Amino acid sequence: MYGSRIVGIGAFVPDRVLTNADLEQMVSTSDEWIVTRTGISERRIASDDQATSDLAEVAARRALESASVDPNDLDLILVNTVTPDMFFPSTACVLQERLGASRAAAFDLMAACSGFIYGLSVADAYLRAGLMRNILVIGADTLSKVVDWSDRGTCILFGDGAGAVIVQRTTADSSILSTHLYSDGSKGKQLFIPGGGSRQPASQKVIDEKLVTIRMPNGNEVFKTAVRSMEDAAMAALKANGVEVSDIDLFISHQANARIIYAVAERLDLPRERIFMNIDRYGNTSAASIPIAIDEAVRVGRLKRGDLLLLTAFGGGVTWGSALIRW
């Protein structure tokens, strides 16, 4: 009987900081408006020559070092992203070569902002089945490259970054207690990028009409769907493990919007002091947000071995999910 355990973690964000004051010079907005509605004060932006794989590589190396795992001991590299370097080869394959992980299989997974929990669930399943020993799970995105910087409803939200964990097979008790995945394709156009794929291939017309940038027609609908979905997913994780809300030591949600996170916590009757947030400094980094937050929570002492950690996420698709982890 096998289980899985997170044995290493790492994160990376670009150097460039884009503040709300900077955005005031770009679109009709204000620092007060952004902070009140989102909780975001600044975000990190990749340079023109930084691709998703560049951010992911640094996070991956830090996770490998943290776990004392050699790249040649990796069995799988799983990159969760909606901003791959290119259609193919996968960003995971790009990293397999760069890291020198000669034995590892590699593929990308796309579940938008829920990507890290989806990837963690896939890794957990492989390890519990006894098929692999060491899996590198990465959440990485450079959403700044697919943002319409004239749309104040979306450009204020997103930042770039990467986070990674090493998940290892164990014969002891599993630290990943359960994962729970959900989707609803009927709500896909709440948050999407319409162009650039086979439906509307890249062309001058597609570019001129900004069809390769993020669309969010109704932010209020996204807000309501996200809150309901993450509450339900969180409750599913608690119920599956016979755990009460009062047992949770730390709650880390996808860092989409401070108001969403607080709303979910309030519905769960979870005290704010058990919430970890860093959205004020990084914005919404999509699949990277949860591992970046976990990495920081560990470094500042908010998350310690033995703590019960509840994760929730919601993203385009729409997708959502949860995980309960004994850290």
Quick one: tokens of 315?
């993203």
Local structure of residue 28 (DSSP, 8 states): S
Of the candidates 113, 134, 155, 180, the residue annotated as catalytic is 113
Maximum Cα–Cα distance across the chain: 58
CA distance 262 to 69: 37
* Beta strand extents in the chain (DSSP E only): 3-12, 16-19, 42-45, 76-80, 105-109, 134-142, 160-170, 176-183, 250-253, 308-315, 319-326
Of the candidates 20, 80, 134, 284, the residue annotated as catalytic is 284
Of the candidates 142, 66, 109, 139, the residue with the CA atom closest to the CA atom of residue 299? 66
Phi and psi, residue 250, nearest 5°: -150, 140
93 an active-site residue?
no
254 an active-site residue?
yes
Of the candidates 20, 180, 254, 257, the residue annotated as catalytic is 254
Of the candidates 106, 256, 121, 273, the residue with the CA atom closest to the CA atom of residue 183? 121
3-class SS shares of the chain: helix, strand, coil, % to 5: 40, 25, 35
241 an active-site residue?
no
| Tokens 């156009």 sit on residue | 189
Across the strands, what pairs with 138? Answer: 79, 164
Cβ(254)–Cβ(83) below 8 Å: no
CA distance 110 to 112: 6
Phi and psi, residue 39, nearest 5°: 85, 5
What is the set of active-site residues?
A: 113, 254, 284
